[in-house]
Structure 1
Amino acid sequence: MRSTLVVMTLSLGVVSGCGGELPVVVDGSSTVFPISVAAQVAYTRAVEGVPKITVDYHGTGGGFGRYIEGEVDIVNASRPAKAIEQEKAWARGFLWTRYLVGHDGITVAVNPANTFVDALSIAQLQALFERGSTITTWRDLNPEWPDQPISFYTPDPDSGTYDTFVHEALDLSEQREDIQPSADDNVLVNGIAGDVNSLGYFGFAYYMANQDRLRAVPIRKSDDAEPIAPLIETIYDGSYVPLSRPLFIYVKDEAMKRPVTAEFVTFYLDHVAKLAEQAGYVPPNSQERSENLATLSQVKASISMAETTSTPVD
């Protein structure tokens, strides 16, 4: 799994193809990034010629920001679009269609040398991450734990993972300030792997790719609940709550009029189960895949009808 993500990371920002045709530009969530890069690589290998696809990550919020400026065709999103993002995009005529491409479980991780944090409750995470928290050592969180300072490695505020973890799962307005944020999940992984007293969170695939360097912390949804570890099975069956979430791509409707975009998105959705699994996530189930393809067919039919009605008749 690690080698797969390394290959994907090396693909960052690479433009496939040459010539005058504009590339399909994909940007947004670093969590969804591995799935879209897997789609880019597989599509480039599968089709004749060299299609032009670029995949980057600036966080879900950053991807929507670029989309609103007309710079992006497809947004990788680890959360649903916010109302203000949709309002701004649609006000500029940049309509989109959303597709579900996988399921994630945000993973809270510590250094493997940390053997005492056997589980954390949502209440403990709230107390730990809230703005103005006075918890600075492990003993502050649990009197049986060592009196050692905690180092925090987390996504930055543009990240959909940040939004889901802080705002949705923990119901906090803001995260504490004394953290080391990054838009790059690999930076967070390396920080935790190199710091014995560290704690952080990121998408499940990054934990799966680095299990020998990290330890996932099981989560209790309430103080008296059984701790649930992030696993393919617990994400799939919905028991890893409240840190499970769907992953999306938002595709610009106008961009679907270009054959390369339509062909790439079709390939992506036809193979999304394999691509999501390859990237380390839980793939969409059969019903979700069918819904994706039905929606895609509607978009294509709408575009075809619009082009037919706008074509002059001799």
Structure 2
Amino acid sequence: MRSWRERAWLPALGAALAVVGGCGGGDVTPTETIIIDGSSTVFRISKAAQEAFAEVDPDVTVVVDNHGTGGGFSRYLQGEVDIVDASRDAKPDEESKAKSQGIEWTRLIVGYDGITLATNDKNDFAKSLTVEQLKKLWEPGSTVRTWKDLDPSWPDRKIVLYSPDNDSGTFEFFTEAIVGKAGSQREGVQQSSDDNILINGVAGDPDGLGYFGYAYYAANRERLHALAVQAGPDAPAVLPSPESIADKSYRPLSRPLYLFVKNSATRRPEVGRFLKFYLDNISTLAVKGGYDPPTPQDDLANRTALARPMSAGDAAAPDPTPTSAPAPATP
């Protein structure tokens, strides 16, 4: 059985071979390939960028995969990808490994998300949870088994929990924000790297409760109920929404979304063109992906940061002249 790294590389390899080999044996122009992997959350934005960019620069093949933020960084450190989609910041050990290998990157903010806790649409009693209740529910060694254990007025039925897997940046961000330690979660949780499997699990189980990026909830809101989160004893219970994520009132589960771009890759002309297109259209692409777009301050910081590695080579640095993307579809 092939490893996931081998399986992830096969589509890109197949595309490259098809272009090089051709069908008729005539003159063939090789296709340039850009490889992106990482967060299933940011995947939605990069996928939108891939599809829109193909319409304006069809000679470049952009491959977008989603093996989790940790999986993306792992492939990055193995030299297999140009760009990492990340729903958390890089860890110190990832930074040190990159530095020891002489790999430099540039971090860009491409949107904002609110990790959403959702129940089955038949659940008519759980409307909100405090951070204290969430910690009690998700922490290692938790003794919470039923809804009644969380609130005496709720049914004495077993809670069935769903979460992203351990390679997920969403998993790491959530556990750090709620439990207090990244990657620390109770046993007995049904985990998956595929957000759609988590959605289907909660939607198919009257006592299901799971968490995932806001866009995945929004695309399935007719099948799920989002829970409001109360950050502290005196804080209001706040539902996730584009507005509460943007104004940071949805605490502590609002977060920025990132691209980590290999500096040496930015100096390849096709990567430079793709990144310029990405930044020129980031507001459209973020909304199409289902998230809040970066702020104007983020946009300026992104362009300034990316200009440094690009100007060190032959690729043109991003300029303020936009390249239009197609109008977004409703997420």
TM-score higher than 0.5 here?
yes
Q: Deviations over 1:158-212 (max 9, x none)?
A: 1100111001343146101101001111111111110100001000100111110
Q: Give the secondary structure class of the aligned counterpart of 1:212.
A: coil
Which residue among 302, 307, 312 is the counterpart of 2:312? 302
Q: Please show how residues 87-236 of structure 1 align to structure 2 within 5 Å.
A: 87-172=96-181, 174-236=184-246
TM-score (normalizing by structure 1): 0.90
Task: Give the deviation of 1:21 after TM superposition.
Answer: 4.7
Letter in structure 2 aligned against 1:83: P
**Contact preservation (8 Å) 1:131, 1:176:** yes
CA distance in structure 1 between the partners assigned to 2:63 and 2:235 by the alignment: 44
CA distance in structure 1 between the partners assigned to 2:243 and 2:130 by the alignment: 20
The question of 1:84 aligning with 2:71 is answered no
**Contact preservation (8 Å) 2:135, 2:178:** no
**Contact preservation (8 Å) 1:276, 1:283:** yes
CA distance in structure 1 between the partners assigned to 2:307 and 2:201 by the alignment: 44
**Contact preservation (8 Å) 1:257, 1:303:** yes
Task: Give the deviation of 1:53 after TM superposition.
Answer: 0.8
CA distance in structure 2 between the partners assigned to 1:191 and 1:223 by the alignment: 31
Which residue among 47, 52, 65 is the counterpart of 2:61? 52
Q: Give the secondary structure class of the aligned counterpart of 1:25.
A: strand
| Residues 1:126 and 1:292: Cα distance change in structure 2 (over 3 Å) | same
Give the match for residue 328 of structure 2: none
**Contact preservation (8 Å) 1:29, 1:160:** yes
**Contact preservation (8 Å) 2:160, 2:209:** yes
Instruction: For structure 1, list consecutive stretches of 5 or more residues without a partner in the other structure.
Output: 1-11, 306-314
Letter in structure 2 aligned against 1:55: V
Task: Give the deviation of 1:151 after TM superposition.
Answer: 0.4
Task: Give the deviation of 1:255 after TM superposition.
Answer: 0.9
**Contact preservation (8 Å) 1:129, 1:176:** yes
The question of 1:256 aligning with 2:266 is answered yes
Task: Give the deviation of 1:303 after TM superposition.
Answer: 2.3
Letter in structure 1 aligned against 2:65: D
Identity across aligned pairs (percent)?
Answer: 47
Task: Give the deviation of 1:252 after TM superposition.
Answer: 0.4
Q: Deviations over 1:215-272 (max 9, x none)?
A: 1000000133210000000000110010000000000011112111111111111111
Task: Give the deviation of 1:54 after TM superposition.
Answer: 0.3
Letter in structure 1 aligned against 2:145: T
Task: Give the deviation of 1:91 after TM superposition.
Answer: 1.2
CA distance in structure 2 between the partners assigned to 1:99 and 1:52 by the alignment: 21
CA distance in structure 2 between the partners assigned to 1:100 and 1:234 by the alignment: 18
CA distance in structure 2 between the partners assigned to 1:119 and 1:55 by the alignment: 35
Give the match for residue 279 of structure 2: 269
User: Relative CO higher for 1 or 2, CA cutoff 8 Å, sep ≥ 6?
Assistant: 1
Task: Give the deviation of 1:298 after TM superposition.
Answer: 2.1
Give the match for residue 9 of structure 1: none
Letter in structure 2 aligned against 1:151: V
Q: Deviations over 1:14-42 (max 9, x none)?
A: 65773445521100000100000000000
Q: Give the secondary structure class of the aligned counterpart of 1:117.
A: coil
Q: Give the secondary structure class of the aligned counterpart of 2:185.
A: coil
CA distance in structure 1 between the partners assigned to 2:11 and 2:218 by the alignment: 25
CA distance in structure 2 between the partners assigned to 1:241 and 1:226 by the alignment: 10
**Contact preservation (8 Å) 2:179, 2:185:** no
CA distance in structure 2 between the partners assigned to 1:208 and 1:35 by the alignment: 15
The question of 1:38 aligning with 2:48 is answered yes
CA distance in structure 1 between the partners assigned to 2:10 and 2:109 by the alignment: 23
Q: Deviations over 1:20-79 (max 9, x none)?
A: 4552110000010000000000000122x4311100011101100110111111000000
| Residues 1:181 and 1:135: Cα distance change in structure 2 (over 3 Å) | same
Letter in structure 2 aligned against 1:39: A
Letter in structure 1 aligned against 2:306: L
Query: RMSD of aligned C-alpha atoms?
Result: 1.7
The question of 1:281 aligning with 2:322 is answered no
CA distance in structure 2 between the partners assigned to 1:176 and 1:170 by the alignment: 10
Query: What is the number of residues matched between the two proteins?
Result: 293
Letter in structure 1 aligned against 2:102: G
**Contact preservation (8 Å) 1:97, 1:252:** yes
